[in-house]
Amino acid sequence: MNIDVYIARGSEANIHRSIVNGIERSLVEDELGITVPNESVDSFGRVHLWGVPMGRAEKYWKSMKKGDIIIILPVRKGGGKVSECYITMVVDKYPVNMTQEDIKKCENFSRIIWESYRRRQGRVETYPYIVFIDSRISVENLDDVLKILGKDMKSLEGYRESVKRVRRVTEQTLQELIQRITQVPDTSTIPTLLEEIYLELSVKLGWNPR
């Protein structure tokens, strides 16, 4: 199975903004001038995506492909312990042609939706390399995921970059991670499920659903 696994890091605020909540589709398409992939759009019309800064992490962004798995770790201010993480899959990337015009467009877009990171040297970091992710986001206990990967908390010290590929991933590990993602219900089916539950309760309790 030709699937790679990546660990990405980001602030809780940025993760909540674009991974958990997603961004308004019209904003993404208007700012980038593209049509976003449908797999990244949830039933509320919000696009789920992530951004990678220029620098050493850029090579990992370039190597990402559709179907790869991303494990997103929140970074807490003050170095607080993290107990959860988010697992999803790569759907697409942008910019495709890597023109200066497209990169500049993505930089401006990243300033709109994410908090910039100020390095010690004073340089403000933006995230011009966009990763469109599957709208199915699995929220997992970090210790459980580390166990699946065969790693521990100390081993995460080697993943200080904003995104980095995990080496030596077994077939069983891939299957377990994929299963976590595919078990997440498609949000578009939730209204139908709620209606079915309501009708079933109505019959049992003698309500008139009309």
CATH 3.40.1650.10 at 5-184, yes or no: no
Residue 41 gets which letter from DSSP?
B
Enumerate the H helices of 114-170 as residue ranges.
142-149
Q: Of 31-35, 67-71, 97-101, 116-120, which range is least confident?
A: 116-120
At 179 the three-state DSSP class reads: helix
pLDDT of residue 22: 95
Q: Which range in 29-33, 79-83, 194-198 is most confidently predicted, on average pLDDT?
A: 29-33
Mean pLDDT of 202-209: 62
Helices (H) and strands (E) in the chain, counts: 7, 11
pTM, to two decimals: 0.83
- Tokens of residue 122, six digits: 């004073």
* pLDDT (mean) for 47-68: 93
